[in-house]
Every structure is written in structure tokens, then in C-alpha cells.
Chain A
């Protein structure tokens, strides 16, 4: 029951989705499955939030190291949740002003919008912006041209780094003009060697070819993993033997 029923559910649902793709008569079944899937995805977000609360409450109650920060997390969580669910500060919809809760939860001026605009947006953006500094540090400490592969990688990186800014034009313009005047070659024909154009060529050719091979490999991997799940061979999603 605990492990057999989920396997049957996974297989049934998966094959319904596959069959609905190939047999038009079954398309509505597949459509219903996907609608329920999307609803469950929203509930999964709620579950994720609930898990977060459970984890941090446990940390606070056990007084583990850093429990004060867990308290802050919980405070921020419940404040945002309360303001968002109650639509605090949100005016009703202008079409239905007599329905108090008809307004958009992210209406400008509302409490939830304020939290998004002045807490979530700046903090989330800055968290990822930190990576620019760490990439600089990593470039200095770790990127070594130790062998042929590393030299190719770094060489390509240099071309693309130059080419993706005006530096590529500055660096390559003068040499190409010299070649054009000295050897009499057409400027248009030499344009493809300008660094900004050259990096586009690298992206369009070698990068695309390499990624195509990776993509084909991944597609085969996804297909085999999906089949293993549908046929019940892979049961890792069921968790421990319980």
C-alpha cells in the first residue's frame, strides 16, 4: 500500500500523458492530468514553505547554533504571509469596489507590494550580484592554462569576453584596417574576423555543435530515466523503506 499504490499512480498518470499525446481521443484525459499537476505544483510551494517553518521552529526549540537568525526568518515569513494573504493595504478592484478582497494582491501601494519592492527585490538581486566578485576571485586563483584543453577553454573565453564589449572592436579594428590597406583585401570580407563578429561565429558554430551533442546525450538520459520511473524500476522518489 505504502509503496505499491504510488508506483501504480506514477505509471498510470505517466502513460495517460504519453497516450494523450499520440491519441487525440485521449487528449482531454492528458489535459485534466496537467491541470491537476499545476494545482499540485502550487500546493508544493505551500509545502515548501511549511517545511521551512518546521525546520526553523525545530532549530529555535532545540536552541541550536544560529537559532536567533531562524527566529528572524520565521518573523519575516509570517509577516509576509499574513500581509499577502490578508491583502493588507490593497484597494478593491475598480470594477467591483464593493468586494473588499477583489483587488490584486500585488497592487502598487499595498503591503505585499511594498515587501516585494523594498525587501525581496533588492536583497535577492544583491545576493546574486555577489557572484560577480567571486567570479573575479575564481578567475585569478583557479583558471590555469595547465594543458591543451584549458588553453582552448581560456582562449575561447578571451575571444568571447573581448568580443562581447566594445573592447573587441577597439582591439581588432586597427589590425584589420592595416591588413585591408596593406594587402588590399575587402573590408567587408575581413569583418568576420573583428572580435565582436568572431565571438558570434564561435557561438554559432563550435558552441552550438558542442551543445547539440550535450543536448542529445541529455535527451537520451531523460528518456531512460523517465522510462525507469514509469516502469517502477527507479523508486528513489518514494524515499526510505517505510
Chain B
């Protein structure tokens, strides 16, 4: 074992021992939840009672109950038999300080959560695995990278499926089936829109790309996609980024105040804008050789663009630093419990 290995082993052993000691004594990385029981029939009866009370109040005032509320009450009453016996317990995450209520006593609804605690530790260790890349490529980083690649792809698929495919394809094409399973709020009167067979067929053709045979058929929906993109981008880029931008650049070069004197600040800004935009556009004109006066104007354009890129670089630095700040705040606050900037553990 060389010296470097010994140092690393010692550091890891000490660090591990520290984490173990703090974890075992309950001084880091713990998560708590507040339990909430839901009894469907009780909830519905409660809402019916609430509307009854509102009805009495409106009648006492000489008015009638809102038609919408009356319809809702009828709907709740018709659904009572269907929801009989349906109960579950859900939970919301709470900060550790919420273990204690206002009187400083233990809140019986708040309890320690194993799944969220394991989650915090997994998130912290995953963060450290990614950060280990800074020392050098290693198996922990590659493991974390493999996990994030698989997870992110599946996440996007699931969200895309439940949001768009289910609601806007199946929900329009076979609403009765979707209403019976996933989206019961689809009105009973909703009819199937058979025109949606077109996107359904295009979707199947698109997925045919994965097949070893006949993958060429996926060009048809791809062409649809590309054609639509070309169509709307042509119009909107020209409108917003060309016509409007030129319109915004056509400004008076000399601006006068109401008393007839020159408004120096705005004049300089307008003149500078027109000159700079023209200079930059001359630089982008590569079909003319940049010599003589064209060359000099193009050089001014380059200088303006360098200022633009310098500002962009500085803004990029700011952005990246704030990302690592967020991650380190998570490690120091939620995992290690070294800091408590928003008072999650005050009083403990």
C-alpha cells in the first residue's frame, strides 16, 4: 500500500466513522412525516353536510342555494354507496421541528419515516458519487451515471404517457375506456373522436422504428413532425426574431426633449444600437471580403460580439456556481445537519 492509498483509506475510515456515529445518535439525515387518514364516505358526508349548512344560511338570507353546489351535493349523494369502506393513510413530509407541537409536546401524528430517511441518504451518497468524478473517473461515478441515464429516460416516458398519451390520445379516441379506468372526470356525454385514429396510426408507425424490419415507415410520422416544425418556425422566427427586431432597431438617431434640447443619453443609446447592430450584421456577411471600410466595420462588429460573449461567459459562471451551491446546501442542511438556514430543526 503506497502513501496515497494509506491517506485515502484513513480519510474514508474517519469520515465513515463520523457519519456512523452521528447517524446512530440521531443527529443527521432523518426524515419525518405527518400521517393523514382518509375515509372516503366520511369525507363525502362531511362535504354534503357543509353544503347543507350553506343552504340553511342562504335560505335564512332569503336566497336559494347556488345551482352548482346543489348539483355537487346530488353527485356526492349518488356516489356514497360506491365509496363505502374505502380508506387509506397518506402522509406529508414535515420538518424535524414539527415533531413538537406549539406546546412543546410530541405531535402524535408526526412520526419518523424510514423510506424518506433512506431516500435522503441515497440522495446524499449519489451526490457524493457524482462529485467523486472530480478526483477521477471511477466505478462509483459510472454507477451513478448509469442510474441517472436509465431513471431520467423512464421518468420522461412515464410523465409523457400519463399526461399526453392518456389524456389527449386515448382520452379523445376511447373516452369510455379511459373514464372507466384512469380519468373518471371525463364527462359521460363525451363521444369518441374518430379523427384521432390518424395520430394513433402515426404513433404506431413512429414506434415501428424500433423494429428490425420495416423501420423505414417511421419516416412518415417523422416527416409530419419535421414539416410541422418547419412550418411554424418559419412564420414565428420571421415574425418575432426578424421583423420585430428590425422594427425595434428603427429608432430616431437623435432624440429631443420637449424643450428642444437633445436628450443625450437616449440619443447615444439609439445611435449606438443602430451602429452596433449594423456593424455586427456586416461581420456576418461572409460573401463579401472583409477589406477596407467593410473590414473596419466588421472589426467593430467583432468587438461588439466579444462584449456579448464576455457577458455570456460571466452569466454562465454565475449559473453554474448557484447549482453547486444548491447541492452543497442539501448536503450540509438536509443530510449532515450542520446548518439550518430556514429553521427546520429549531427547538430540537
Contact = CB atoms under 8 A, between A and B. Distances in A.
A212 B281 CA distance: 9
A178 interface: no
A105 B178 CA distance: 15
Contacts of B219: 2-3, 6, 238-239
Contact of A2 (B143, B216, B326): B216
B246 to A, nearest CB: 7
B207 A50 contact: yes
A135 B277 CA distance: 30
Given A49-B153, A101-B181, A33 B323 contact: no
Contact of B206 (A40, A139, A219, A238): A40
Contact of B155 (A120, A207, A227): A120
B148 A46 contact: no
A137 to B, nearest CB: 10
Given A46-B157, A127-B148, A213-B301, A121 B123 contact: yes
B226 A237 contact: yes
A169 interface: no
A100 B19 CA distance: 41
B307 A98 contact: no
Contacts of B106: none
Contacts of B256: none
B162 interface: yes
A214 B237 CA distance: 13
Nearest to B182: A101
Contacts of B203: 39-40, 43
Interface centre among A2, A10, A105 (most CB of B within 10 A): A10
Interface string B194-218: 0100110011001101100000100
Interface residues of A, number: 135
A149 B298 CA distance: 13
A44 B122 contact: no
B232 interface: yes
Nearest to A93: B184
Interface string B210-250: 10000010011111111111111111011011100110110
B280 A135 contact: no
B133 A229 contact: no
Interface in B179-199: 181-185, 195, 198-199
A119 B151 contact: yes
B314 A206 contact: no
Contact of B227 (A74, A135, A217, A229): A229
B284 interface: yes
A15 B227 CA distance: 8
4 closest Cβ contacts across the A-B interface? A156-B310, A76-B150, A84-B158, A213-B280
Interface of A: 2-3, 5-7, 9-18, 21, 32-52, 54, 66, 69-70, 72-81, 84-85, 91-99, 101-102, 105-106, 108-109, 112, 114-133, 135, 139, 148-150, 152-161, 164, 199, 202-203, 205-220, 222-223, 225-227, 229-230, 237-239, 242
14 contacts: A37-B225, A38-B164, A45-B156, A47-B210, A74-B150, A118-B123, A132-B324, A152-B303, A210-B305, A216-B246, A216-B281, A219-B241, A223-B238, A230-B227
Interface of B: 38, 40, 43, 79, 82-83, 86, 88, 90-93, 115, 118-120, 122-124, 126-127, 130-131, 133-134, 142-165, 168-169, 181-185, 195, 198-199, 202-203, 206-207, 209-210, 216, 219-235, 237-238, 240-242, 245-246, 248-249, 269, 272-273, 276-277, 280-281, 283-284, 301-318, 320-321, 323-324, 326-327, 330
